[in-house]
Structures are given as structure tokens and as C-alpha cells.
Structure 1
Amino acid sequence: MEHVSGIPSALFVHAHPDDESLWTGGTIAAHIARGGDADLITCTWAPGTVRHSELCDAARELGLPRPPIALGYADSFVPESAPDAPSIIDVPFDEEVGVLVDHIRRVRPDVIVTYDAFGIYGHRDHIHVNRLVCAAADAANLVHYRPETGDPWQVKSLYFATIPVSVVDEVSPHLPEASHLPLIGTPDEQVSVTLDLQAHIGAKIRAITSHRTEMARSASMKGFASLPRDQQRQFLAWESYLRRDLVPGGADLG
């Protein structure tokens, strides 16, 4: 439902801890700061793991009013992320859609934010989550779809996090080869929304660095951290999206 402020409510759906901060952290912080309501679903890493604890720390830095919702699947590359659960890409698709529909009907967001169809840089878990969100957003409003999960809910707009080609061109030459990120980017003219989040860059950086395990382990995170100041600021201070309205007029994010 719309927040009392009249600002559309938002649900951010990500595959892994740190994605919420790296790709949409400024948007989350800005949305909360202007009086909006938001929730975060993280699909992998079970409660009780170190990275889930770090996720909760990051969520607090971004100002989220409630703890992240953990679906508890395993990262497809890291089985120990959820030792007693299957990989996110091995669970039957319809089963996962049903789980997500249940949360959508309970949270009742106006806007859902996730990755673009390429998963920003081709990560198979990101691509899978994009597909789940698209299917679940449609199914959530069907009266006959899993009525036991609650009343139907119409999401107004989907926003898909992406990187404009112009940013890729500026940043990529400064990333070490070890970062392993195949950044390709979306042509600038196809990008629907670019948000100026310079006022919230501090919260975003604090959230990113809350993911201490990944900062220490990940070549790509180390690569982003090693960018020259100007390129790092360009990467962190703006976030871009493709927008898909599910009802006429949709709902604005930012």
C-alpha cells in the first residue's frame, strides 16, 4: 500500500547479500530519507550465516525500517551459503514464484526493484531473480493463483537496475582484469531513469563496507574499491534503471 507520505512503497528483490547495497543502495537510502516505505528480499544465504548478519548491518545503514526477508536458498556458486537448502537455480521455478507471490501479497508494494534481464553483468543467479520477479509480479494479481497466499495485489511498476554504456566506458578501463565482471551496459538512450544519489553516497558506502566478508574475498568488490576517485564516485553516486509499468501511469521511483 502507499505509505502515509503518499510516496509509492517499494520492494527490492536481490539474489545475494551486498547486491542491495552495490546496485541499489543509494536508491534505498534516498527513498527512505524522503519518507517512503521499503522492504528487501534477499534470496540466498540463510539466517545464521556470517553474510546474512552483514546483510542486516547493511540494511540498517540504508535506513530500511524492517530486517531483510531471507528466502534462504543457496547461492548457486556457494553451497555453504545455505547448507540445508537447495541452490536457488535448482528449485522448481513455479515453487519459487509462489514463495515470492506470498511475500508480494503480504508486503503490497507499488514498485518492485530488481536486476535487468542480463543480471547487470550476466550472473546466473541475478538473471534467475529477474525472471522470478517478472513472473511473480504478474501472478500476484491473479485471483485464481494460489488464493491461500492472500488477496491479489497489483504491482504498478517494475524497475530493473542496469548500467549505462557511458558509465561502463568510463569505469571499465580502470577495473583490474581480476575483477572478472563482464560489464557490457545498456545503451544510454534505452535507460528509463537515472537517479542522482550524491546526497546519499555516504550511506551507500557504509552499507557496501558492511559486507566485510565479501569486501575481503571478492575480486570484483576489490576492483570497485580500487577505482580512481572520479570513476568510483561516478559508479556510486548515480543508479540507473529500466522501467516497466504494469498499470497505466505506473509509479515513480525517486
Structure 2
Amino acid sequence: MHLYPEAGDPWRPRALYAAAHPESGVGRLGALPEQVGENVPAVPNAYVSTTVDVSPWAETEWAAILAHRGEVASERPLPGVPTRLPEAERQEMISTESFTRPTSGPVPGGPHRLTV
């Protein structure tokens, strides 16, 4: 703003979201992460402010995961863990993205569900 005052006020986002793994989603992995020595950081479900249905892109996301062949083939890295799930569970897991807003405490009214 001080460098180029003619540019006007700086742009500011109306909201900030951070990608999150809700406990319920991580729970679908069961004991798999622990069995391979992984820890998946998760937030309480009440802290998820928004979920987005990304099922139209699930096939592309799965192809991207599988493109990391070395990690998928290994037991330890997280990208390989979902490959051990039944296809229906895996499909459900990668069809929704969850986000949280940097606030303190649970989100009032629960998460907003967005469909793109």
C-alpha cells in the first residue's frame, strides 16, 4: 500500500479455510496407519466448517495418488494406506474434502456442505 498508493487498498480475503482431516474420516482407515507407523493428524468433527463434494474428480484424484508409485508400493507412506481399503470405502473417503476456519472452538451450526 505504501509502495504503490495509486493501486488502492490491498485485496483481503473474506474468509480463510485450511484443509482438514476430520476424526470420522481418519477413523475409516482403522488401524492401518498405526500398523505402518503413520500418524494422521485429525481435527474433531465439530471443528470442520465446510465440506465439499469432489466426487466428480475422485477418479482423477485416485490416479494422482497412484502416480506416486514408490510411496503407494511402500507400506509406510500415507499415500499407500488408502490402497489397502476396499474400493467402496476408498471412493467414499476421497469424494469429500473437509476444511476448517481458523477460529477457536467448534463451528456453530455444524459444517456447510458445498457441491461444486
The TM-score, its normalising length taken from structure 1, stands at 0.34
Whether 1:203 and 2:60 are equivalent positions in the alignment is: yes
Counterpart amino acid of 2:23?
V
Q: Counterpart of 1:233?
A: 91
Distance 1:253 1:153, change over 3 A: farther
* Whole-angstrom distance in 2 between the partners of 1:214 and 1:166: 24
CA RMSD in angstroms comes to 2.9
Deviations 1:185-243 (A, max 9, x none): 21112210111222221111122223334334572222221122233123211110013
Counterpart amino acid of 1:186?
V
Q: What are structure 2's unaligned runs of at least 5 residues?
A: 104-113
**Secondary structure at the counterpart of residue 199 of structure 1:** helix
**Secondary structure at the counterpart of residue 172 of structure 1:** coil
* Whole-angstrom distance in 1 between the partners of 2:59 and 2:68: 15
Higher helix share: 1
Structure 1 contact 162–241 (Cα < 8 Å) conserved: yes
* Whole-angstrom distance in 1 between the partners of 2:93 and 2:32: 12
* Whole-angstrom distance in 2 between the partners of 1:165 and 1:177: 18
After the TM superposition, which segments of 4 or more aligned residues of structure 1 sit over 6 Å from their partners? none
Q: Counterpart of 2:46?
A: 189
Largest Rg, 1 or 2? 2
* Whole-angstrom distance in 2 between the partners of 1:168 and 1:181: 12
Structure 1 contact 157–244 (Cα < 8 Å) conserved: no
Structure 2 contact 54–115 (Cα < 8 Å) conserved: no
Distance 1:253 1:196, change over 3 A: closer
**Secondary structure at the counterpart of residue 171 of structure 1:** coil
Whether 1:154 and 2:12 are equivalent positions in the alignment is: yes
Structure 1 contact 175–227 (Cα < 8 Å) conserved: no
Correspondence list, 1:101-250, <5 A: 143-144=1-2, 147=3, 152-175=10-33, 177-178=35-36, 180-217=37-74, 219=76, 220-244=78-102
Structure 1 contact 175–224 (Cα < 8 Å) conserved: no
State the Cα distance separating 1:176 from its structure 2 match: 5.9
Distance 1:234 1:175, change over 3 A: farther
* Whole-angstrom distance in 1 between the partners of 2:50 and 2:23: 14
Identity %: 25
Equivalent pairs counted in the alignment come to 101
* Whole-angstrom distance in 2 between the partners of 1:184 and 1:215: 19
